[in-house]
Amino acid sequence: MPLNDFNHDILRDTAHRPWPMPSGAWVMTQTWNDLLFAHWPVDARRLRELIPGAFELELFDGQAWLGIVPFHMTNVAPRFVPALPWLSAFPELNVRTYVRVGDQPGVYFFSLDAGNPVASGAARTLLNLPYHTAAMAVTPRDGAIHYRSRRESVPVAEFEGIYRGHGDPRPPQPGTLDYFLTERYCLYAVNHRHVAYRLEIHHPPWALESAAAQIASNTMAEAAGIELPSIAPLLHFVKRQDMVCWTPEILS
């Protein structure tokens, strides 16, 4: 992947946001590539047990959802710092659900696996996010993405699959399940002092494609203490998404 091809024009694309951009300066860029959203309906009571009490679990038509999201990142760099080989490009794999504080919906992560130990260590140290270092490989081949991740640390977890997008990319429509699962402009977590915070992000509307996937192995949810139903997931593919983020805001 090319270095330093971040699209700064996204900073002028704000009409779609559910609330205004933060007033302070953003601090980091990231580009998410070849991203698969794989979502399953799951037991809301179990998720509620695993989520800090400061956050309200969000449901869509009474149903909770868990997302497993493999992709690979480029342009990972602080503001005014150029992207660097290896440090700024690596795979990542997230396990997430959906929460809100007040009128601002966001994402809550049960785990984030990364193929870069420096990046995962920094995020765990600075933000107390549940990052793990994993052995990961992402290979585009025959129009599909071959993705493999194995976390050796406890709890051991792995994901292996082949996926591809098909159809015209389209932004999700407000009020739909697709919008609920993707159009979120912050994450929620607790810091090392167990104090809740919000970290705001900005990106263009998601350009969602339908997707197909063959998932050979997936113990990511199990490692988080969550049981997936024995049904096919809801799938979406995104070729690329550029984003910026801000520093965390402590919640009272």
* Cis amide linkage into residue 117, ω under 30° from 0: no
Q: Is the pTM of this model over 0.85?
A: yes
In the block, tokens 């420096």 appear at 118
d(CA 197, CA 191): 7
pLDDT at 3: 78
Does residue 132 have a pLDDT over 80? Answer: yes
pLDDT at 86: 80
Task: Name the average pLDDT for the chain.
Answer: 97
* Paired strand residues for 69: 94
Nearest by Cα to 99 from 222, 198, 216:
198
Residues 18-55 have pLDDT tens digits of 999 999 999 999 999 999 999 999 999 999 999 999 99
Rounded to an integer, the average pLDDT of 64-78 is 97
Domains of the chain: 33-250 (2.40.400.10)
H or E element that contains 179: helix 177-182
Confidence of residue 1 (pLDDT cuts 50, 70, 90): low
Distances (CA, A) of 154 to 52, 90, 92, 191, 223: 21, 21, 18, 21, 9
d(CA 107, CA 57): 10
Provide the 8-state DSSP code for 246. -
Does residue 10 have a pLDDT over 70? Answer: yes
Rounded to an integer, the average pLDDT of 148-156 is 94
72 contacts: CB under 8 Å, gap ≥ 6:
1, 32, 33, 34, 89, 90, 91, 92, 138
Nearest by Cα to 245 from 13, 28, 36, 10:
28
pLDDT at 85: 83
Does residue 171 have a pLDDT over 90? Answer: yes
Q: How many CB atoms lie within 10 A of CB 54?
A: 15
The sign of the CA dihedral 19, 249, 65, 241 is: positive
**C-beta separation of 105 from 98 below 8 A:** yes
Collapsing DSSP to helix, strand or coil, 116 comes out as: coil
Rounded to an integer, the average pLDDT of 141-154 is 96
What is the DSSP track for 71-114?
Answer: EEEEEEEETTS---TTTT-EEEEEEEEEEEETTEEEEEEEEEEE
Does residue 134 have a pLDDT over 80? Answer: yes
d(CA 24, CA 33): 27
